[in-house]
Homo-oligomer: A and B are copies of this chain.
Amino acid sequence: MKLNLDSAITMIQAAEEKASAIGVPMVVTVVDAGANMVAQHRMDGALLASIDISKNKAYTAVATQMPTSDLAAAGQPGQPLFGIHSCDHSRLVIFGGGFPIRHEGELIGGIGVSGGSVEQDMACGQAGLAAFNLQ
């Protein structure tokens, strides 16, 4: 199964609804299994820095096949992967808000959310994932 634009928009809108509910404007990006952009929305008032961070969280989730939050511990000073945040043209984001999208176990894309605290970003990303799974 390929992730298409309709599915991506549905996920983004669910993430946006969550962002609105908590009162923090976000940028939400969905990429496909090749880590290529499918759709990106910047909510009114969202941080400009979040444009790139959101995209790279989605990229990282596909490129590492794990949530970006899973990279945080190993990427700290003194830990095995310290320095990975500047690898791969500095596209690897090592804090939460990026999640792989899987369908029947297969990696089909990634969603990345940026704009609030890490916890807020993760909550919005999870809302996007939940919308996808409901389809």
Contacts of A92 in B (CB 8 A): 49
A96 to B60, CA, bound (A): 20
A23 within 8 A of B: no
CA gap between A64 and B51 in the complex, in Å: 11
Q: Chain B contacts of A72 at CB under 8 A?
A: 82-83
At the interface, yes or no: A5 with Cβ under 8 Å from chain B? yes
Given the interface contacts A33-B34, A89-B90, does A81 sit within 8 Å of B95 by beta carbon? yes
Query: Ordered nearest first, which 7 A-B pairs have the shortest CB separation?
Result: A34-B34, A83-B85, A49-B63, A48-B63, A83-B94, A52-B88, A86-B86
Q: Contacts A52-B89, A84-B95 given; 12 further ones with Cβ under 8 A? A: A32-B34, A35-B36, A36-B51, A37-B40, A38-B42, A40-B40, A47-B63, A56-B87, A75-B83, A80-B118, A81-B95, A86-B90
